[in-house]
Structure formats: structure tokens, C-alpha cells
């Protein structure tokens, strides 16, 4: 069976690639499981000093797999697994770079926000699309609110509007925007490989010292998110998305 998340390590870099373009690299059951395993492997790989999360296909990550969520039993919503994934990105002892070559939505923004450095293609677009389908961006708010300017966060999380890479850079969601995203990522990799491994790990802890991504905080936000996922409003939102029609509210 083909992998939906591929990974390999070479020249000090662990490259984790979302490879599920058929569903816009959505965070399906398989993608979540394979991404989680790949992050664990990279964190424990002595040959990896930098981690790069990228993607195949035109979309970085479209968020949770809404076709799966639309039929998920109450208590089995996929969003319940998202806090652990975001913690693994943020707490990885190696610097993590997110390579965004195309659109990122919802949970995909959580992943890139949890990374240490996010590099976006000039053509990439972004949206906190949860409210448009009757959901609350509760879980991803932990890394997002640590990155994004508060006024911009209020605007974009509430409206769900699409914004471009220039706006993402302006509000702090990404660190760099480039026409050649691979060259920009390579430049960051070169810089990071110059740092001592334990010094980088210690510095990462230092700069993330005010990020509250504790199990307790995620548990509280997950209750909010999961309750909404199970609501009639969210079910209608997921069905309308799958059926490509406006939701009935």
C-alpha cells in the first residue's frame, strides 16, 4: 500500500512529505497516523538535524478530511488527534521548516504555525475556513495565536476569508515568501545546519518558553472543538462541503 506521508533523511535533513494529493493532502486517518509516526522518527533520528515538512501536489494541506468527519461517530472525530501532532511539530528537538508551495487551510495552518520557520510560495493562499463550515478553530489557535498579530487573528479566524502570501508574511504567519520556495528553504537549511544540535534544541525551548501547548490547554480546547464537530451545524457544514453547495444556515 502506497504511503500517504513519505519521509527520508539525507545530509542532516529529515524531509517529511504529505503525499495524498487526491484529497488535497487533507488530514485523513491515514495521513494523521503516518505524519505522527514520521515526526516521531525524525525527532529520534540522530542523523537528522533539521526537519522539513513539505507536500506533493498543488495543495500544502486542506485541513481535516471532511468526508471522513461527516460520517465520524461522536467521540471519534479526527480533530481529537490533532493536538498531539501539533505538539510533535512544536516540541521536536530539531528546527522544523514548513514548505508551503500552495494553498493551506484550517488544520494545515496549525501545522505550519507550529513549525519554527514557514516558507511560502508567492502564489500560496491561506484561510481559517472553519467557521464557513460550522466549526471552531480551537485546537489550531494554540500555535496560530503564538505567531499571528492579535488584530489580524481576530479578523481572519472570524471571517474565514482567503488571504495571500504577502498578507501571511505581514501578520507573522509565515517567515518568508519566495518565487523559488525550494531555494528559500535550502537557504534556511544551510543556516540551521551551522548551529550545534544541542544549542539549537536549547534555543528552541528558550524561544517557545511562552507557548502554552500543554495537554491541559489542548484538552480544554479540544472539548470545545469536538463538541462543535459533533453538532448538527458542523454536520451540515461537512455535507455541504462534500456536496459543493452552500450550507443551510
- Residue located via cell numbers 478553530: 137
Pick the closest to residue 108 from 53, 71, 153, 147 (CA basis): 53
- Cβ-contact 130, 136 below 8 angstroms: yes
Report how far residue 47's alpha carbon sits from residue 49's, in angstroms, rounded to the nearest whole number. 6
Residues 124-151, buried b or exposed e (16+ Cβ, 10 A)? bbbbbbbebbbbbbbbbbbbbbbbbeee
The total number of residues written for the chain in this structure: 249
β-pair type (117-121, 96-100) = parallel
Report how far residue 19's alpha carbon sits from residue 25's, in angstroms, rounded to the nearest whole number. 7
* 130 among known catalytic residues: yes
DSSP-assigned letters across all residues of 31-46: HHHHHHHHHHHHHT-T
- Residue located via cell numbers 516558507: 119
Of 3, 81, 130, 179, the active-site residue reads 130
CA distances from 127 to 81, 167, 175, 200 (A): 21, 11, 17, 31
β-pair type (117-121, 176-178) = parallel
Please identify every residue annotated as catalytic. 130
Amino acid at each position: 500500500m502506497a504511503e500517504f506521508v513519505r519521509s527520508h533523511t539525507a545530509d542532516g535533513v529529515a524531509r517529511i512529505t504529505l503525499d495524498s494529493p487526491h484529497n488535497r493532502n487533507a488530514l485523513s486517518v491515514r495521513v494523521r497516523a503516518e505524519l505522527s509516526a514520521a515526526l516521531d522518527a525524525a525527532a529520534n533520528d540522530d542523523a537528522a538535524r533539521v526537519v522539513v515538512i513539505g507536500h506533493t501536489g498543488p495543495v500544502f494541506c486542506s485541513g481535516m478530511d471532511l468526508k471522513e468527519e461527516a460520517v465520524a461517530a461522536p467521540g471519534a472525530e479526527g480533530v481529537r488527534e490533532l493536538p498531539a501532532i501539533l505538539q510533535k511539530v512544536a516540541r521536536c528537538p530539531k528546527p522544523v521548516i514548513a514548505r508551503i508551495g500552495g494553498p493551506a487551510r484550517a488544520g494545515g495552518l496549525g501545522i505550519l504555525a507550529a513549525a519554527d520557520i514557514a516558507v511560502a510560495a508567492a502564489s500560496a493562499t491561506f484561510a481559517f475556513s472553519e467557521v464557513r463550515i460550522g466549526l471552531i478553530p480551537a485546537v489550531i489557535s494554540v500555535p496560530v495565536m503564538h505567531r499571528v498579530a492579535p488584530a489580524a487573528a481576530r479578523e481572519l479566524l472570524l471571517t474565514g476569508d482567503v488571504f495571500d502570501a504577502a498578507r501571511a508574511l505581514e501578520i507573522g504567519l509565515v517567515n518568508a515568501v519566495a518565487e523559488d520556495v525550494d531555494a528559500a528553504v535550502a537557504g534556511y537549511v544551510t543556516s540551521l545546519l551551522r548551529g550545534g544540535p544541542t544549542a539549537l534544541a536549547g534555543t528552541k525551548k528558550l524561544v517557545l518558553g511562552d507557548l502554552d501547548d500543554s495537554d491541559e490547554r489542548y484538552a480544554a480546547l479540544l472539548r470545545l472543538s469536538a463538541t462543535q464537530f459533533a453538532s448538527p451545524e458542523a454536520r451540515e457544514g461537512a455535507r455541504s462541503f462534500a456536496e459543493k453547495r452552500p450550507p443551510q444556515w
